Amino acid sequence: MRFTDKNDLIGVFRIMTNSDCDKRTVILDAALQLFSENGFHGTPMTLLAEKANVGIGTIYRYFKNKEEVISNLYKELKSESVAAMRENISRDMPIREQFINIFENMLKYYIANPQKFLFMEQYSYSPFINSSTKQEVCSAYAESLVSFFEYGKKHQVIKDLSTQIIFATANGQVVSLAKMHIAGEINLNDDMIRKAIETSWDALKR
Amino acid sequence: MRFTDKNDLIGVFRIMTNSDCDKRTVILDAALQLFSENGFHGTPMTLLAEKANVGIGTIYRYFKNKEEVISNLYKELKSESVAAMRENISRDMPIREQFINIFENMLKYYIANPQKFLFMEQYSYSPFINSSTKQEVCSAYAESLVSFFEYGKKHQVIKDLSTQIIFATANGQVVSLAKMHIAGEINLNDDMIRKAIETSWDALKR
Amino acid sequence: MRFTDKNDLIGVFRIMTNSDCDKRTVILDAALQLFSENGFHGTPMTLLAEKANVGIGTIYRYFKNKEEVISNLYKELKSESVAAMRENISRDMPIREQFINIFENMLKYYIANPQKFLFMEQYSYSPFINSSTKQEVCSAYAESLVSFFEYGKKHQVIKDLSTQIIFATANGQVVSLAKMHIAGEINLNDDMIRKAIETSWDALKR
Amino acid sequence: MRFTDKNDLIGVFRIMTNSDCDKRTVILDAALQLFSENGFHGTPMTLLAEKANVGIGTIYRYFKNKEEVISNLYKELKSESVAAMRENISRDMPIREQFINIFENMLKYYIANPQKFLFMEQYSYSPFINSSTKQEVCSAYAESLVSFFEYGKKHQVIKDLSTQIIFATANGQVVSLAKMHIAGEINLNDDMIRKAIETSWDALKR
DNA sequence: AATGAATGAGACTTCATTCAT
DNA sequence: TATGAATGAAGTCTCATTCAT
């Protein structure tokens, strides 16, 4: 199996997958797919190895244990999603526009990456996870929004509510919509997304 | 079952099977506590038996297998939460008041029952679960809100948005707040709860 | 395998092996045999289960882990060997006779129970073992001899040497002889055993 | 090899293969330290490579497999210990003096080289080892003592006992003392060592 | 009806060894 | 010659489930 054939002639193919075939990445890619579909506990390490086309031992060269595979994947995805959220945002834009762009970015990212979304949500509810990782990584995301909301409140464009409530209102809607969309309970298009976020803005604007 | 119907008439029958019902209840109570703390996979059946003060064999007299324990618990809790949501609501009230009462009920129920909330959320994200149960049970909850929102839209009190978006907006906020409160990231009191729900209403009102 | 046949008709046989078929004992018996032949690391738990005619899970009902199997076995054997050493000894006997009986007992016990001897020696040299168990158990053995040697020194029948040196001289010889006998390098009979121990006495007598 | 022959004449040749020899030596040195501390099974080859500051692959250039590392180390140490035993001994000395010197040499060597002693004892009890190596190497040691004891018996200075019993008596004491000293159960100094060996002589002298 | 001892499939992980560089 | 990434067999242990009492 798996390149074991000694008389392998497809060297060219190998070269192609050589550089980006960074084993760590390959493992995390397979992990995302399997974890999002079958859950952490529904994904034995043997299956992960098979999906990633590596030996099990190889996984343990890159990650100390299963939990580290999960938490490393989470960290990478969270960074990626934070980056996605920040696209096309600048401090010069009107606050309303920033708000709408931020949450549109987020919702669109979730919808375009359902596996990543499902994995992150699963992770965030899993009592099985070392919460230090959760904290460590979430802060980047939260802080960035917190300062934005506080800026909006100071400029009297956003209601004078506890920042957490503001966060929960906007973020909660987006998460809820993504979940429903992925579950097939709703079929969001760009127009609906825009309307949904504007609705959220109506909640929070002054 | 236990809490499904407030107008339960078979009380007499229940008294007869009292001890039966006790064991079942005792097991589900222990299950809620353990599952919410350690997760489904962090809770071996032997531990459940021990916590419930019954033999392991006994659990298998009341539930076909572990998954049935989980899904039965979910069903009961979902019914209970739907009942909680409906308290103090009547069709005569103004729609706004109904809306606020419904979501206040819900948020307060979650906060008062953190284990139940955490269990239900964990369940809803677990790929491990037979989704038929999920569907089956959620409908009661969703349907009842759907018809309310549609009523509100027809009377031009609620915005003319897709019902799912309306649902996601209100429900998402509440779930998000409950999660944060339980995680200790916010400390909600009655006043904050009221303000948060009113904010949600601002989003959806016409 | 192993009693799995549902139509098993040899109930009588089962009853026979029922009471003494205390699983714990059966496991330790199998463990002694396998450990003495193949060593701790040459004996996988699966093999132990097979030899003991129990499921692997059963081993873990009686012992927390492999190490506990080993240390429990050691404790039992050490007690047994101490008991063997003490046979036919009484404080009334001349010290010389006591000495000879003690070490004859010991050597004969080792020779009659080569597996037990080999297991105990293997254990005592294994860096893999929790030394607290070693200490805990050995003391009974050592103390009993220590007080005997001190008694002999006080009565000026045994040389005035450090008790440890006395112990090492007598015990070392016996262990060394047992090892050689079991390895087939010498073939000890009662007469040789007697002569060997008398030689040891010559070393220590005053 | 390294220590086998004091009158080694191929020094020139050695200088040529200097680096070769270094790697092999470095590996065996690291092996001694790790094996004596953690045991054979507690020492992965990767750890050995790390400790020796060589790649794992390199170990396999010098030794066919792990067992060969162990047995080669054993052979070298056994040769070394035999050499140590023979120091300051000459056929001209009185037999008693030879005896005392031989076993003093041995005990002092063990005490001065606790790792080597522990390794050799561990090895000698390990059922894991190919016993052919054991035989092959021990003979040098045993034979040399055997002829000495037989010489002593012939000259009627040593008791007319089976040579094996004589060997077991003297060797057993020394091994036992070394073990106790290293374990901290006794603290031997030159005077005690001398007394202990003299005691041994009392056992065996005619 | 209730129990819990017994089971073994299957999970996670280690580590001796290989082989391409 | 030297390296160390890659491998997967094999080990330990857990835990859902069964069944005799």
Specify whether the CB–CB gap between A172 and B172 falls below 8 A: yes
A190 in contact with chain B, both atoms CB, cutoff 8 A: no
Cβ <8 Å between D122 and C118: no
Specify whether the CB–CB gap between C162 and D186 falls below 8 A: yes
- Which tens digit of pLDDT belongs to each residue from B77-112? 999 999 999 999 998 999 999 999 999 999 999 999
The predicted pLDDT at position A138 comes to 63
The predicted pLDDT at position A6 comes to 39
- Which tens digit of pLDDT belongs to each residue from D126-140? 765 556 666 666 666
Instruction: Identify the residue whose Cα has the smallest distance to the C1' of E19.
Output: D57
Domains and CATH numbers, chain C: 1-63 (1.10.10.60), 73-204 (1.10.357.10)
Nucleotide lying nearest to A55, CA to C1' measure: F7
Question: What Å value separates CA B22 and C1' E1?
Answer: 14
- Going by pLDDT thresholds of 50, 70 and 90, the confidence category of residue D141 is confident
Cβ <8 Å between D196 and C121: no
Closest to B176 measured CA to CA, from A170, D9, C166: A170
DSSP string computed for chain C: -TT--TT---HHHHHHTTSTT-HHHHHHHHHHHHHHHH-STT--HHHHHHHHTS-HHHHHHH-SSHHHHHHHHHHHHHHHHHHHHTTT--TTS-HHHHHHHHHHHHHHHHHH-HHHHHHHHHHHH-TTS-HHHHHHHHHHHHHHHHHHHHHHHHTTSB-S--HHHHHHHHHHHHHHHHHHHHHTS----HHHHHHHHHHHHHHHB-
Determine the length of chain B: 206
A164 in contact with chain B, both atoms CB, cutoff 8 A: yes
- Best residue in C35, C186, C199 to probe D by mutation, most D CBs within 10 Å? C199
Cβ neighbours around D195 below 10 Å, total: 16
Shortest distance, CA A3 to any CA of chain B (angstroms): 32
Please give the Cα distance from A139 to D163 (Å, whole number). Answer: 79
Specify whether the CB–CB gap between D134 and D121 falls below 8 A: no
The predicted pLDDT at position A143 comes to 80
Q: Which residues pair with C158 in a beta bridge?
A: C205
D37 in contact with chain C, both atoms CB, cutoff 8 A: yes
Specify whether the CB–CB gap between A100 and A162 falls below 8 A: no
Terminal alpha carbon distance of chain D: 39
**Lowest-confidence region among B127-141, C44-58, D43-57, D95-109:** B127-141
Nearest chain A alpha carbon to B34? A127
* Residue pointed to by tokens 């949501």: B85
Question: What Å value separates CA A129 and C1' F8?
Answer: 29
Stated as kind and residue range, the H or E segment containing B178 is helix B163-182
Please give the Cα distance from C128 to C122 (Å, whole number). Answer: 11
Average pLDDT over chain C, rounded to an integer = 88
Closest to A72 measured CA to CA, from A144, A38, A123: A123
Q: Which of D128, D169, D196 sits opposite C200 (nearest CB)?
A: D169
D174 in contact with chain C, both atoms CB, cutoff 8 A: yes
Residue D64 has pLDDT above 90, yes or no: yes
D163 in contact with chain C, both atoms CB, cutoff 8 A: no
Go through A143-165 and write b for each residue having 16 or more CB atoms within 10 A of its CB, e for each that does not.
Answer: eebeebbeebbeeeebbebbbbb
The predicted pLDDT at position C10 comes to 41
Specify whether the CB–CB gap between C167 and C145 falls below 8 A: yes
At A160, list the tokens: 């004078």
- Burial-class residue C202 by CB neighbours within 10 Å (0-12, 13-18, 19+): middle
Shortest distance, CA A25 to any CA of chain B (angstroms): 24
CA contacts within 13 A on the Cβ side of B152: 27
Please give the Cα distance from A90 to A97 (Å, whole number). Answer: 10
**A111 contacts: CB under 8 Å, gap ≥ 6:** A117, A178, A181, A182, A188, A193
* Helices D18-38, D45-52: inter-axial angle, 10-degree rounding: 130
The predicted pLDDT at position C144 comes to 82
Residue A6 backbone dihedrals phi, psi, to 5 degrees? -65, -30
D180 in contact with chain C, both atoms CB, cutoff 8 A: yes
Q: Which of C168, C171, C196 sits opposite D165 (nearest CB)?
A: C196
**Protein CB footprint (7 Å) on chain E nucleotides:** 1-20
Q: Is B205 helix (H, G, I), strand (E, B) or coil?
A: strand
C176 in contact with chain D, both atoms CB, cutoff 8 A: yes
Nucleotide lying nearest to C58, CA to C1' measure: E6
Average pLDDT of the segment spanning C32-50: 96
B163 in contact with chain A, both atoms CB, cutoff 8 A: no
Go through B126-164 and write b for each residue having 16 or more CB atoms within 10 A of its CB, e for each that does not.
Answer: bbbbeeebbeebeeebbeebeebbeebbeeeebbebbbb
Contacts 24+ apart (CB under 8 A), A47-54: A52/A23, A52/A26, A52/A27, A53/A2, A53/A3, A53/A26, A54/A2, A54/A23, A54/A26, A54/A27
Average pLDDT of the segment spanning D183-205: 96
Question: What Å value separates CA B89 and C1' F9?
Answer: 65
The predicted pLDDT at position B144 comes to 82
Cβ neighbours around C94 below 10 Å, total: 9
Specify whether the CB–CB gap between B32 and B115 falls below 8 A: yes
C162 in contact with chain D, both atoms CB, cutoff 8 A: yes
- Best residue in A115, A131, A199 to probe B by mutation, most B CBs within 10 Å? A199
Q: Is D158 helix (H, G, I), strand (E, B) or coil?
A: strand
Average pLDDT over chain D, rounded to an integer = 88
CA angle A184, A187, A189 (to 5 degrees): 150
**Touching subunits for chain C (3+ Cβ pairs under 8 A):** D
Q: What percent of chain D has pLDDT over 70?
A: 83
Specify whether the CB–CB gap between A192 and B163 falls below 8 A: no
**Touching subunits for chain D (3+ Cβ pairs under 8 A):** C
**Touching subunits for chain B (3+ Cβ pairs under 8 A):** A
**Lowest-confidence region among A138-152, C1-15, D113-127:** C1-15
- Going by pLDDT thresholds of 50, 70 and 90, the confidence category of residue C5 is very low
Shortest distance, CA B158 to any CA of chain A (angstroms): 11
Chain C window 41-70: residues with CB closer than 7 Å to nucleic chain F are 43-46, 56-57, 60, 65-67
The predicted pLDDT at position C7 comes to 40
Question: What Å value separates CA D57 and C1' E19?
Answer: 10
**B87 contacts: CB under 8 Å, gap ≥ 6:** B101, B105
Shortest distance, CA A159 to any CA of chain B (angstroms): 9
Please give the Cα distance from D99 to D88 (Å, whole number). Answer: 11
DSSP string computed for chain A: -TT--TT---HHHHHHTTSTT-HHHHHHHHHHHHHHHH-STT--HHHHHHHHTS-HHHHHHH-SSHHHHHHHHHHHHHHHHHHHHTTT--TTS-HHHHHHHHHHHHHHHHHH-HHHHHHHHHHHH-TTS-HHHHHHHHHHHHHHHHHHHHHHHHTTSB-S--HHHHHHHHHHHHHHHHHHHHHTS----HHHHHHHHHHHHHHHB-
Please give the Cα distance from A54 to A48 (Å, whole number). Answer: 9
**Protein CB footprint (7 Å) on chain F nucleotides:** 1-20
Nearest chain D alpha carbon to C139? D185
Cβ <8 Å between A185 and B164: yes
Please give the Cα distance from C121 to C174 (Å, whole number). Answer: 12
- Which tens digit of pLDDT belongs to each residue from C48-94? 999 999 999 999 999 999 999 999 999 999 999 999 999 999 989 99
Residue B2 has pLDDT above 90, yes or no: no
Cβ <8 Å between B165 and A202: no
At D24, list the tokens: 């092999």
Cβ neighbours around B51 below 10 Å, total: 16
Q: Is D205 helix (H, G, I), strand (E, B) or coil?
A: strand
The predicted pLDDT at position C13 comes to 43
Instruction: Identify the residue whose Cα has the smallest distance to the C1' of E6.
Output: C58
- Give the type of residue at C206: R
Please give the Cα distance from C168 to C153 (Å, whole number). Answer: 15
* Residue pointed to by tokens 């040499």: D105
Per-block mean pLDDT, blocks of 10 residues, chain A (206 long): 40 43 93 96 97 97 97 94 93 94 97 96 76 66 87 96 96 96 94 97 95
